[in-house]
Amino acid sequence: MYRILFVCHGNICRSPMAESVFSYIIDRAGYGGQVEIASAAAHTDALGCSPHRGTVDILRRKGIPLIPHTARLMTAEDGDRFDLLIGMDQWNVEDMRDIVGKKNAAKVRLFLDFSPRPRPIADPWYTGNFDDTYRDILEACGGLLNYLQSVGIVH
């Protein structure tokens, strides 16, 4: 089983959206039993909270089930447990590398680095634009799935 952890600042907007969208894509592609997907926060701002209503709304509009979720903090142990640690922006990536330390820092990647147009995914907590965030996450999910297929992780 290959394990992927999506991380954003508070684990209520981007990372639970990515967890839900990628879980949906993986299941529809028939790879559900091959990949474990979870999400976490890089900071303590929203621990214990449910996903933001903007994330809930856009997933509902797109017909994608929201993974049951309560915001939790990423831990150093996540670096050992997960095979791939994906941050939404460069601040997340830097925080994640600090959390997991040198031993697992190479597992940390920027999500849209899997797409043809690498860039950060803007935080809709600040922008208010959950549609743009969804489009970026969907693009990144497609690139991530292609990557997993190309290296033989899913088949």
For this structure, is 135 an active site residue?
no
Given 14, 78, 89, 141, which residue is catalytic?
14
Cβ distance 86 to 4 under 8 Å?
yes
Cβ distance 65 to 31 under 8 Å?
no
Distance set, CA 40 to CA 69, 90, 110, 134 (Å): 10, 16, 15, 18
Given 8, 13, 95, 97, which residue is catalytic?
8
For this structure, is 123 an active site residue?
yes
Given 78, 89, 95, 123, which residue is catalytic?
123
For this structure, is 98 an active site residue?
no
> 3-class SS at 61?
helix
Q: What are the residues whose beta carbons fall under 8 Å from the beta carbon of 29, sequence distance 6 or more?
A: 145, 154
Angle between helical axes of 53-62 and 130-150 (0-180°, round to 10): 60
Beta bridge partners of 2: 35
Indicate which residues carry an active-site annotation: 8, 14, 123
